[in-house]
């Protein structure tokens, strides 16, 4: 588990990626948080909100029947490290810049046969670990079934306020701590 950063004005409150979730002080995004008119999926304690700009749709968790994330970038540790090293070397040589974040697809199924697909950006610099994805998808299924709420993610944020990017093993440990009471 990460060590909490010191409290005070210098604390970085922008957000932290844990699995497929971007957690901030008062909200949780699926994937990285959208900017401007980009689409986004927001997970609140009582509802799920999907959309972009002024075109938003929202459902209570009781009305959501399924929530999937497709096209999630998953790589082994060795492949992630090789990609990261290649990106750093290429950037240092100004040979090419690293690609932007990978696009994933969030699929929300709701009562009355509603199905909404929306693109979301991956929060991972290169890719997620398989364990991180499996734990994240498991947690999403608990949100849909009503066994858990995204409030546990913002509560973790308030308690820890991480100031550094967490390594994959740290992110997995946080996800495991969220899933443990649900097992």
* pLDDT of the chain, 183 residues: tens digit per residue: 443 333 333 344 478 999 999 999 889 999 999 887 788 999 999 999 998 666 789 999 999 999 999 999 998 654 444 444 444 443 444 444 455 678 999 999 999 899 999 999 998 888 999 999 999 999 999 999 999 999 999 999 999 988 888 999 999 999 999 999 888
Count structural domains, the chain.
Answer: 1
CATH number reported for the structural domain that contains residue 163 in this entry: 2.30.29.30
Asked whether residue 5 is domain-assigned, the answer is no
Strands (E), the chain: 16-18, 21-23, 28-30, 40-43, 47-52, 55-60, 64-70, 103-110, 114-121
Asked whether residue 158 is domain-assigned, the answer is yes
Asked whether residue 2 is domain-assigned, the answer is no
Asked whether residue 9 is domain-assigned, the answer is no
User: By the 8 A CB rule, do 179 and 138 touch?
Assistant: yes
The pLDDT of residue 52:
66
Residue 155, CA atoms < 13 Å, CB-side half-sphere: 8
């Amino acid at each position: 588990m990460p060590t909490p950063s010191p409290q005070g004005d210098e604390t970085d409150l922008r957000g932290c990626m844990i699995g497929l979730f971007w957690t901030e002080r008062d909200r949780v995004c699926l994937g990285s948080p959208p900017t401007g008119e980009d689409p986004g999926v927001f997970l609140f304690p009582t509802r799920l909100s999907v959309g972009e700009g002024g075109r938003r749709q929202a459902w209570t968790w009781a009305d959501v029947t399924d929530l999937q994330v497709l096209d999630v970038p998953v790589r082994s540790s060795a492949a992630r490290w090789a990609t990261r090293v290649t990106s750093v070397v290429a950037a240092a040589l100004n040979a090419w810049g690293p690609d932007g974040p990978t696009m994933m697809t969030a699929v929300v199924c709701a009562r009355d046969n509603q199905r909404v697909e929306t693109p979301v950006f991956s929060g991972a610099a290169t890719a997620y670990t398989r364990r991180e994805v499996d734990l994240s998808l498991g947690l999403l299924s608990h949100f849909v079934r009503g066994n858990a709420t995204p409030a546990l993610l913002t509560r973790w944020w308030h308690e820890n306020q991480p100031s550094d990017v967490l390594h994959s093993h740290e992110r997995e440990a946080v996800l495991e701590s969220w899933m443990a009471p649900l097992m």
